[in-house]
Chains A and B, each alone.
Chain A
Amino acid sequence: MSNFDMLYNFISGPLFIVAVIVFIGGSIYKIHQLISLVNQKEKFIWRYMSWKYSIRSILHWIIPFASTNWRKRSFMTIMTFIFHMGLVCMPFFLAAHVILINEAFGVSWWTIPDGTADVITVIVIIACVFFLLRRLILRDVRFITTPSDYALLTIAAAPFITGFLADQQCCYYRFWLILHILSGEIMLMAIPFTRLTHMLYAVFTRAYLGSEFGGVRHARDW
């Protein structure tokens, strides 16, 4: 077995499992921590939580252009939705990934056509560049940007950039492939422990604000 194969086997095998465990375990821990905090110190929150207003609020913000702020920032909205869709869909529906899953577990499902996947990847990378430029150019965004924001953007962009380069198979295929898997795993593990945690918390913060606005304030929050 070559060094590459050993490395490949390691990062796509044990390390991948570790990453998944860290991601799932970390996510459960973070959500549990949040709910415990509510129970310990802000129990009153339960009194105001409402399924109806939570869902109403989440829907208005999860659908592109359904909230005023999405409509006001149309380019940002398009970019952010494509970016997030790409981020969530590509790991699950990219043909190359599904093939690997099929090989490992014998299951498979619908996949994104390769051409489309390429386009999505490029757009996600463009979105990352767009986010980077926002952080560098827009004064208000630059002011609130911390070094960790660049790190997180790098973590989010890396799987796409490396994946794209690996996919082109032009040069250093193995190198990019290893980096691709590694960066994907880093991202998975980073989600519960960095500000990528918004993936977990957003639904709660949105639902809480939606409940307060709907049930108490009788006002729209979108």
Chain B
Amino acid sequence: MADSANWDWEIGDKLVSDIKEWKASYNWVEEPYVSPDGEKVAAIVNTDEAEFNVCVNGKAWEIEEPFEKAWSLKFSPDGRLTALVSADMAWTVAVDGELWEEASDYVWDKQFSEDGKTIAVAAQQEGSYLMIKDDTPWESGFSFITCMTMSPDGKNTAASAQAVAFGQAEVFKFQEGCFTAAANGNAWGRNFVNVWNMAFSPDGTKLAAEVRLNLYDYTIAVNGKPWEQIFGCVWAPIFHSDKGTVIAPVRTAGAWTMAEDGNIIWDSKFAQVWHQKISPDGKKLAAIVAKGFGSWTVAVDGKAWDITFCDMVTDLTFSPDSSRVGCVGKEGDKYAIAIDGSEWDNSFDMAWGPVFSPDSKNVAAKVEKDGKYTIAVNGKLWQRMCEQAWEPVFSPDGSKILCRTVEDGVCYRRVVSINEMI
């Protein structure tokens, strides 16, 4: 996360930009994105036939030539504005209007490190697939990559990569194992039938991934070495932040549970377990689980909440002090926020993941109700119903909330006292 201490936390409202006015200057203005500190709002704009640029607070990037195409406009956590653009028939990354030198036939799947200082993309260059991190490509590419990932510290990138060529419908060659994982472009020495979703160890020396050993045996491999235990299915592994062990949901005898370095660590069995998270203090392990068919909730260290949602649970979040857990739950067409096993009284047409205050006492979330967006704090709705809103940000002392909104076509930055919202 970016350091928000230097932001303007004075209570009050700022008009960031009147997006309506931009529309006069361009053929069209695409959906706006707002910077983490709320000071800037940006959108891709069409300037002429097949000509695009990026407009920030009403002012277009000063670029030599307009882009032929532009997409994936995003602010990095440290507030830089990035887009994937095509210029001179080549694709690259534009950061605050500056283009990377590395040109590719295509770039996609832009990722940021946690602090936002590192940017990585997947790229295709003359049929070779690789990742580019901060304008530096892997030394060699592959004929195919998927499941691109970057470590949270931005030091390492990895992807599932095709290591052995196979022709059309060469199913038995495929089943011998043609895929591997490539960490920073270097393939594991071992191939698998499939390699999926991976994670780096905190020190960056290990890479763990889901692997399929044949048509039906699944396990986790770390640096190419599979666990001894085989499972009916597995989901994405994570590393324990302190212990460095690998933790992944596994399916055994038709039920899901949690394994650490291959050993089952939860006594309880579930109809589903996924998206596990380690608490910031490293002491708790939570996951989204289904207690039974169509009965979704959160389990912390294998113990499920009593409350369940029939449709789904998403956005599992630990509080900074590790004492609390929140999520979004869906029942019918209503979305709810649940914290520590209790649902907020209000339900919504859509809800974004809960955001805890730095002191872990308050919880805020972006929500949609009756076609309008707003912020809910501890279940209570802010009185402003907006055309657009972004996820709330707490001030470092937790006493204020930064609300970034678009109201009647105008982008506002509003710092609101928490007392006003609860």
Q: Which chain A positions have C-beta within 8 A of B294?
A: 44, 47
Q: Which of B254, B292, B293, B294 has the largest number of chain A CB atoms within 10 A?
A: B293
Give the shortest distance, in Å, between A216 (CB) and chain B (any CB): 12
Give the shortest distance, in Å, between B192 (CB) and chain A (any CB): 30
Q: Number of B residues contacting the other chain (C-beta, 8 Å)?
A: 4
Give the shortest distance, in Å, between B40 (CB) and chain A (any CB): 48
With CB as the reference atom, state the residue of chain A lying closest to B294. Answer: A47
Q: Which chain A positions have C-beta within 8 A of B293?
A: 43-44, 47
List CB contacts (< 8 Å) of A6-45 with chain B. Answer: 41, 43-44
Give the shortest distance, in Å, between B102 (CB) and chain A (any CB): 50
A5→B254 CA distance, assembly (Å): 59
With CB as the reference atom, state the residue of chain B lying closest to A41. Answer: B254
A44→B292 CA distance, assembly (Å): 8
Q: Which chain B positions have C-beta within 8 A of A43?
A: 292-293
A-B contact count (CB 8 A): 7
With CB as the reference atom, state the residue of chain A lying closest to B254. Answer: A41
Give the shortest distance, in Å, between B82 (CB) and chain A (any CB): 44
Give the shortest distance, in Å, between B255 (CB) and chain A (any CB): 11
With CB as the reference atom, state the residue of chain B lying closest to A45. Answer: B293
Contact with A along B287-316 (1 / 0, CB 8 A): 000001110000000000000000000000
Give the shortest distance, in Å, between A79 (CB) and chain B (any CB): 41
Q: Which chain B positions have C-beta within 8 A of A44?
A: 293-294
Q: Which chain A positions have C-beta within 8 A of B292?
A: 43
With CB as the reference atom, state the residue of chain A lying closest to B293. Answer: A44
A179→B293 CA distance, assembly (Å): 52
Give the shortest distance, in Å, between B296 (CB) and chain A (any CB): 13
With CB as the reference atom, state the residue of chain A lying closest to B310. Answer: A47
Q: Which chain A positions have C-beta within 8 A of B254?
A: 41
With CB as the reference atom, state the residue of chain B lying closest to A46. Answer: B293
Q: Which chain B positions have C-beta within 8 A of A41?
A: 254
A44→B295 CA distance, assembly (Å): 11
Q: Which chain B positions have C-beta within 8 A of A47?
A: 293-294
List CB contacts (< 8 Å) of A40-82 with chain B. Answer: 41, 43-44, 47
Give the shortest distance, in Å, between B134 (CB) and chain A (any CB): 48
A47→B292 CA distance, assembly (Å): 10
With CB as the reference atom, state the residue of chain B lying closest to A42. Answer: B293
Give the shortest distance, in Å, between A215 (CB) and chain B (any CB): 13
Give the shortest distance, in Å, between A173 (CB) and chain B (any CB): 60
A114→B71 CA distance, assembly (Å): 87
A44→B293 CA distance, assembly (Å): 6
A41→B293 CA distance, assembly (Å): 11
Give the shortest distance, in Å, between A188 (CB) and chain B (any CB): 38
A43→B254 CA distance, assembly (Å): 12
Give the shortest distance, in Å, between A40 (CB) and chain B (any CB): 10
A41→B254 CA distance, assembly (Å): 9
Give the shortest distance, in Å, between A45 (CB) and chain B (any CB): 9
Give the shortest distance, in Å, between A50 (CB) and chain B (any CB): 15
B-side interface residues toward A, CB under 8 Å? 254, 292-294
A-side interface residues toward B, CB under 8 Å? 41, 43-44, 47
Q: Pull 7 A–B residue pairs with CB atoms less than 8 Å apart, ordered by A.
A: A41-B254, A43-B292, A43-B293, A44-B293, A44-B294, A47-B293, A47-B294
The 4 tightest CB contacts between A and B, nearest first, are A44-B293, A47-B293, A47-B294, A43-B293
